């Protein structure tokens, strides 16, 4: 009896060892408890569990997970459940209208370290910082180089006149959806002031799809000046803001317009930015000066005529 039982035990152990060896030899795993039956799809966990785990990973970690084997690659490359979730999570924005590109490509273009001066005028670029993402819920924007409350938008006034009289202007036909904002420091001249030998600060915002458009990459689409004006007196700071007109009276927008809530202390010369769901602004304290030259530029989709990028630039006079 003991010998027979011992033989049965050995047979059972050998079968389990063979079964384990066959599992570890597979490169992807089953989705049921019967590992031997589904050895060709090897994984210790269900796909929906890994999908949930992936929601806690950033883009770099997702790519690393996808490089593990074919099974994980197929899982990670799922656009809707993985990359769409990662985009909206890391940009902290709501879901936009239908997009023209894959979410994985949008994520890469937003987080791979690219900025607009990489594609053109790279030799004039000095430094930059990513501010973040915000959302245009309407197709009307308010652009300003002065942050103060309240903003009352007059009707039927030309952009140049509004800018000179009020310090801000209204821009129509904005492309709705996710926008990304950067603060750029650029060598002058990149404008019309030949006397300027210093640097220029630019609040640079773009629609999330812009860097993937061939027309942008090959230079077909260009920035065009829509307005400019001079502030011919000492200016405490170089300031710029972009706001969704529909949300101009939101509490979060009011907090950005009240620059005293977030600007740097008087002797702090480091740029500072503030962003909310529907607005973005920057401010850099300035030493004694004779004023600023302010330029507003936009880039449009030449087919739809929608505004896909906005720049507010300031340089010392």
Instruction: Indicate whether 209 and 62 sit together in one domain.
Output: no
Give the angle 162-256-152 at the CA atoms, nearest 5°.
Answer: 30
Instruction: Indicate whether 8 and 121 sit together in one domain.
Output: no
pLDDT tens series, the chain, 317 aa: 334 444 443 444 344 333 333 323 334 433 434 444 544 554 455 777 888 888 888 889 998 988 888 888 888 888 888 999 999 999 999 999 999 999 999 999 999 999 999 998 888 899 999 999 999 999 999 999 988 756 666 666 666 566 656 667 889 999 999 999 999 999 875 555 555 557 899 999 999 999 999 999 999 999 999 988 888 899 899 999 999 999 998 999 999 999 989 988 888 999 999 999 999 999 999 999 888 899 999 999 999 999 999 999 998 87
Helix, strand or coil, per DSSP, at residue 5: helix
Instruction: Indicate whether 166 and 298 sit together in one domain.
Output: yes
Cβ neighbors of 308 (< 8 A, separation 6 or more) are 175, 206, 207, 209, 210, 213, 216, 221, 299, 300, 301
- Asked which of 84, 109, 134 is the last residue of a domain, the reply is 109
Say whether the peptide bond before residue 118 is cis (omega within 30 degrees of 0): no
- Asked which of 94, 109, 124 is the last residue of a domain, the reply is 109
> 253-256 long-range contacts, Cβ below 8 Å, gap at least 24?
253/278, 253/279, 254/149, 256/147, 256/280, 256/281
Instruction: Indicate whether 147 and 292 sit together in one domain.
Output: yes
Instruction: Indicate whether 66 and 155 sit together in one domain.
Output: no
Instruction: Indicate whether 187 and 51 sit together in one domain.
Output: no
Instruction: Indicate whether 224 and 279 sit together in one domain.
Output: yes
Instruction: Indicate whether 30 and 137 sit together in one domain.
Output: no
Number of domains, the chain: 2
**Eight-class DSSP state of 23:** H
- Asked which of 79, 109, 139 is the last residue of a domain, the reply is 109
Cα distances (angstroms) measured from residue 80 to each of 23, 55, 83, 84, 102: 31, 12, 6, 5, 9
Instruction: Indicate whether 90 and 138 sit together in one domain.
Output: no
């Amino acid at each position: 009896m003991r010998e027979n039982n011992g033989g049965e035990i050995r047979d059972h152990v050998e079968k389990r060892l063979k079964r384990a060896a066959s599992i570890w030899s597979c490169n992807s795993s089953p989705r049921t408890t019967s590992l031997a039956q589904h050895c060709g799809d090897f994984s210790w966990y269900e796909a929906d569990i890994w999908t949930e785990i992936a929601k806690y990973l950033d883009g770099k970690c997702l790519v690393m997970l996808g490089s593990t084997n074919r099974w994980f690659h197929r899982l990670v490359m799922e656009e809707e459940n993985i990359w769409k979730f990662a985009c909206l999570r890391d940009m902290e924005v709501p879901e936009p209208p239908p997009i023209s590109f894959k979410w994985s490509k949008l994520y890469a273009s937003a987080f791979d370290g690219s900025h607009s001066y990489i594609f053109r005028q790279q030799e004039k670029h000095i430094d930059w910082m990513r501010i973040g993402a915000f959302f245009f819920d309407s197709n009307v924007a308010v652009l300003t180089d002065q942050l103060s409350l309240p903003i009352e938008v007059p009707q039927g006034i030309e952009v140049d006149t509004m800018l000179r009289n009020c310090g801000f202007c209204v821009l129509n036909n904005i492309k709705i959806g996710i926008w990304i904002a950067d603060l750029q420091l650029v060598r002058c001249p990149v404008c019309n002031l030949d006397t300027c030998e210093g640097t220029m600060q630019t609040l640079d915002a773009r629609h999330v799809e812009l860097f993937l458009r061939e027309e942008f990459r090959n230079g077909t689409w260009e920035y065009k000046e829509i307005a400019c004006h001079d502030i011919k007196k000492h200016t405490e700071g170089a300031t710029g803001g972009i706001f969704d007109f529909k949300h101009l009276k939101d509490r979060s927008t009011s907090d950005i317009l009240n620059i005293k809530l977030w600007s740097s202390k008087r002797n702090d010369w480091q740029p500072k930015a503030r962003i909310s769901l529907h607005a973005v602004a920057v401010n850099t304290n300035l030493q004694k000066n004779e004023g600023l030259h302010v330029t507003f530029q936009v880039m449009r989709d030449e087919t739809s005529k929608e505004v896909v990028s906005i720049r507010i630039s300031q340089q010392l006079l």
